[in-house]
Amino acid sequence: MYHWIPFWPRTAAVNGVVVNNLYIAELGIGGLIMATVLGMMLSFCIRYRAGSTASRTGLIEKTWHFEIGWTTATLLGFLALFFWGASIYIWLFQAPRGDLEIYVVAKQWMWKVEHPGGQREIDALHVPVGKTVRLVLASEDVIHSFFVPAFRIKHDVVPGALETIWFRASKTGVYRLECTQYCGLQHATMQGEVVVMTPADYANWLAGEGVHRSLAEQGMAIFQAHGCSGCHDPGSTVHAPSLSGLYGTLVHLDDGSVRRADEAYIRDCIFNPRSFTVAGYPPIMPDFSGQLSEGDVLKLIAYIQSLGYRGETSR
């Protein structure tokens, strides 16, 4: 749709089509408002120019019903746009369980991508068409912003937090990947490409990248090397929460709050354990900030995910 419109960016994801519709509607409404204002202004300027013979009698004195009229009209129009935009936003920014979960680490000035099978690439992202891809974004230094114009998706990548976004590509091809948050000297060149392939091509590409230890396996190695297993293994004598089947569940914390055990929660627990003590457990977990990189954390998450999802249904 809309490819016949000149100067239209390519649309290659289901997310993009939805946003296109809304944007077209807004262009229409905006054009209508602009035409109304311009039309009224021009016609008044011509008809009531100084010296014209048009009648000036019966100047509108009472204005309040006009004011109420167009306040109501604009408010209703605006509310419609608001609901439309907000419903898409909520859908866009709540990542479903993906067919595929890929980790992206941003650093000045590159995008490092890690696939679940351990394949790595820089400034490029290969994905299969028609599959729901869930991206977990992390930053090693400053704030970046992950933007694929053809998919109409964007999210800032803030250091100290994990963000997840998703898309489902609808067309094969090569699309631009950009950073849209100014991140220092070479911000302008922090770009790459998203390659959307058919599932078969994608499988070939994965295979062609060589044999790797999967992310979960690498995560398990870190889990053991940093002593996490000493407390969190089922057989451990230390009273620590078990991690198997943890991912995706609701966790009750010491301070009474409840959090879903998603990527951001796991990261918070590793880097700031004191503030996320699980109810019923002693606050004994050491703080791992400074010892683990963002990439390590993503591998640990992959490992914890591999220990099983609660309610193993995918959407």
Partner 1 sequence: MSIAAFEPGAEPAADVESSNYLTARNTIASWLLTRDHKRIALLFMASITFFFFVGGFAATLMRMNLATPGGLLQPSVYNRMFTMHGIIMVWFFLIPSIPATLGNFFIPLMIGARDLAFPRVNLASWYVFNLSGLVVLFALVMGGADTGWTFYTPLSTEYANGYVFAAAMAVFINGFSSIMTALNFIVTIHRLRAPGMTWMRLPLFVWGVYAVSVVMLTATPVLAMDTFLLAVERFLGVGLFDPSRGGDPLLWQHMFWFYSHPAVYIMILPGMGVVSEIIPCFARRPVFGYAGMVVALMAIAVLSFFVWAHHMFVAGISIYAGVVFSLMTFFVAVPSAIKVFNWTVSLHKGAILFDAPMLYALGFVLLFTLGGITGLMLATLAVDVHVHGTYFVVAHFHYIMVGATVSAFFGGLHYWWPKITGRLYPEIWARFAAILMYFGFNLTFFPQFVLGYLGMPRRSYTYPPEWQSWNLLSSAGASILAVAYLMPLLYLGWSLIWGRRAGPNPWRATGLEWTIPSPPPSGNFEHTPHVALGPYSYDPERGRYISQDGTSHAV
Partner 2 sequence: MPSSRTIAPEIQYASLAQQGETAQIGMWVFLVNETLFFGALIFTYFLYRLSYPSEFAVAAKDAVLWCGSTNLVLLLTSSLTMVLAINAAAQGRRSEMVAWLIATLALGFLFLGFKGYEYFEDVRDKVVPGLNFEMKPGEAPAGELFWVFYWVATGLHAVHLSIGIGLILYMLLWRIRRGEITPTYYAPLEVVAIYWSFVDAVWLFLYPCIYLVGRS
* CA atoms lying within 13 Å on the CB side of residue 187: 14
Q: In this complex, which beta carbon is closest to partner 2, that of residue 244 or of residue 289?
A: 289
Task: Report DSSP state, residue 244.
Answer: T
237 to 266, contacts with partner 2 by CB under 8 A? 255
| Binding-site partner at residue 90 among partner 2, partner 1, none, CB < 5 to 8 Å by type | partner 1
Q: In this complex, which beta carbon is closest to partner 2, that of residue 245 or of residue 273?
A: 273
- To partner 1, the closest distance from the beta carbon of 171 in angstroms equals 16
Number of residues counted as binding partner 2 (CB under 8 A): 5
- To partner 1, the closest distance from the beta carbon of 261 in angstroms equals 18
275 belongs to the binding site for partner 2 (CB under 8 A) = yes
Q: In this complex, which beta carbon is closest to partner 1, that of residue 184 or of residue 308?
A: 184
289 belongs to the binding site for partner 2 (CB under 8 A) = yes
Asked if omega into 70 is within 30° of 0 (cis), the reply is: no
Q: In this complex, which beta carbon is closest to partner 1, that of residue 33 or of residue 225?
A: 33
26 belongs to the binding site for partner 2 (CB under 8 A) = no
| Binding-site partner at residue 307 among partner 1, partner 2, none, CB < 5 to 8 Å by type | none
Output the CA torsion sign for 210, 129, 127, 104: negative
Q: In this complex, which beta carbon is closest to partner 1, that of residue 51 or of residue 210?
A: 51
CA pair distance 236, 232, nearest whole angstrom: 7
192-197 and 124-128 as β-strands: parallel, antiparallel, unpaired? Answer: parallel
CA pair distance 312, 307, nearest whole angstrom: 11
CA pair distance 209, 212, nearest whole angstrom: 8
Phi and psi at residue 162, to the nearest 5°: -110, 135
Q: In this complex, which beta carbon is closest to partner 2, that of residue 224 or of residue 289?
A: 289
- To partner 2, the closest distance from the beta carbon of 224 in angstroms equals 25
- To partner 1, the closest distance from the beta carbon of 18 in angstroms equals 7
- To partner 2, the closest distance from the beta carbon of 281 in angstroms equals 15
284 belongs to the binding site for partner 2 (CB under 8 A) = no
| Binding-site partner at residue 53 among partner 2, partner 1, none, CB < 5 to 8 Å by type | none
CA pair distance 34, 272, nearest whole angstrom: 52
- To partner 2, the closest distance from the beta carbon of 274 in angstroms equals 6
274 belongs to the binding site for partner 2 (CB under 8 A) = yes
Amino acid at 142: V
- To partner 1, the closest distance from the beta carbon of 273 in angstroms equals 13
CA pair distance 150, 11, nearest whole angstrom: 5
Of residues 211, 181, 184, the one with CA closest to residue 115: 211
Phi and psi at residue 157, to the nearest 5°: -110, 105
- The number of angstroms, rounded, from the C-alpha of 286 to the middle of its chain's C-alpha atoms is 30
Determine the Cα angle at 271 with ends 268 and 276, to 5°.
Answer: 50
CA pair distance 121, 290, nearest whole angstrom: 25
291 belongs to the binding site for partner 2 (CB under 8 A) = no
CA pair distance 17, 168, nearest whole angstrom: 11
| Binding-site partner at residue 274 among partner 2, partner 1, none, CB < 5 to 8 Å by type | partner 2
Interface with partner 2 (CB under 8 A): 255, 274-275, 287, 289
